[in-house]
Amino acid sequence: MDKEGLSYKKAGVDIDAANSSVELIKKWVGRTRRPEVLADIGSFGGFFALNHQKYKEPVLVSGTDGVGTKLRIAQMMGVHHTVGIDLVAMCVNDILVHGAEPLFFLDYIAIGKLQPQLVEALVQGVSEGCMQAGCALIGGETAEMPGFYKEDEYDLAGFTVGVVERSKLINGDAIKDGDVLIGLPSSGIHSNGYSLVRKVLLESAKLKLEDHIDELGKTLGEELITPTRIYVPSVLALLEKVEVKGMAHITGGGIAENLQRSIPAGLGAELKADAIQTPPIFKLMAKLGGVEQAEMFRTFNMGIGFIIAVAPQQYDNTLKCLRAQGEQPIMIGEITARQTKVVIA
């Protein structure tokens, strides 16, 4: 028996490593700070003073999400500084659907063995995502869980809170027959469907992450680790100039199911499949896995990460505003009363 007795560290939890991690991540947290943030990292809670002079009736909108099994790809590659961007994107894009500006973000990291440099890389990614979204990283938690996760395994969860003026809250109720649907391109797979991705490409087709794929113009790993796009700056700029009736963030369930959530009962949508510029990675998966088109569209974004519904009279102005933000908007369909579901044909 160990004469010194047991300790928390010998049980697998290293408090000194945790303290070291906090020191390493302070710089990444600090660069996301907004004027409304009241406390530095290290407190038991994060403090954010809402600017009440800016709003008459502020409505707080919250969201939470994870990265899913895309984390397995990151862990296989030993690349950890991008999935934090995914984490932020999945949360802030969701609340953006309602017109909310993301204010602050918190993360949760569960890991088998606390490695300060790995934790720093993860938080660096979260910090980058927050910078893109314009929100502050005001807190988080890192849990070392030996025996629950393997030493190099980790999971991520994120939480965001945003604000929107009550009179400007978007819930899709204003959508009408004949409204046009404008899609914003994705950066690829984003952060859902990776169980099928791994099944098709790594298990069935026996591809390696280091394999260079001609159709992609890069290695498979580089393609699969590409972060989810954050649409916050472009859409918030649009909302300042155009009356947007509804929006949808395209995640699990693909275009049809996510768009349907934003459309009032009694209406549907007709989308043009040939208007959607499908990235090569989706075509590669369909070919190698024999995955039918309907299943591809039900699982993946297929090249459209965000959808905006506006009146036909606002179409030209919407395209102009989005292009001014560096977007490449695509007219992908319209709202219709002829049916009560989303059809992609």
How far is residue 333's CA from residue 208's CA, in Å, rounded to a whole number?
37
Kindly compute the dihedral angle of the four CA atoms of residues 227, 147, 20, 157, in this order, to the nearest 10 degrees.
30
Say if residues 21 and 120 touch (Cβ distance below 8 Å). Answer: yes
230-262 burial, b at 16+ Cβ within 10 Å, e below that, comes to bbbebbbebbeebebbbbbbbbbbbbbbbbbeb
Residue 290: partners with Cβ closer than 8 Å, 6 or more residues away: none
pLDDT at residue 8 in the model:
58
* Ordered per-residue pLDDT tens for the chain, 345 residues: 455 676 556 666 667 777 787 887 888 888 999 999 987 666 788 899 998 888 999 999 999 999 999 999 999 999 999 999 999 999 999 999 999 999 999 999 999 999 999 999 999 999 999 999 999 999 999 999 999 999 989 999 999 999 999 999 999 999 999 999 999 999 999 999 999 999 999 999 999 999 999 999 999 999 999 999 999 999 999 999 999 999 999 999 999 999 999 999 999 999 999 999 999 999 999 999 999 999 999 999 999 999 999 999 999 999 999 999 999 999 999 999 998 999 998
Grouping H, G, I as helix, E, B as strand and the rest as coil, residue 319 is: helix
How far is residue 307's CA from residue 185's CA, in Å, rounded to a whole number?
9
Give the tokens for residue 239: 């909302």
Query: Residue 121: which of 94, 96, 84 has the closest Cα?
Result: 84
pTM greater than the 0.85 cutoff: yes
How far is residue 237's CA from residue 26's CA, in Å, rounded to a whole number?
30
pLDDT at residue 23 in the model:
85
Please give the domain boundaries of the chain with CATH numbers for all domains: 15-168 (3.30.1330.10), 180-344 (3.90.650.10)
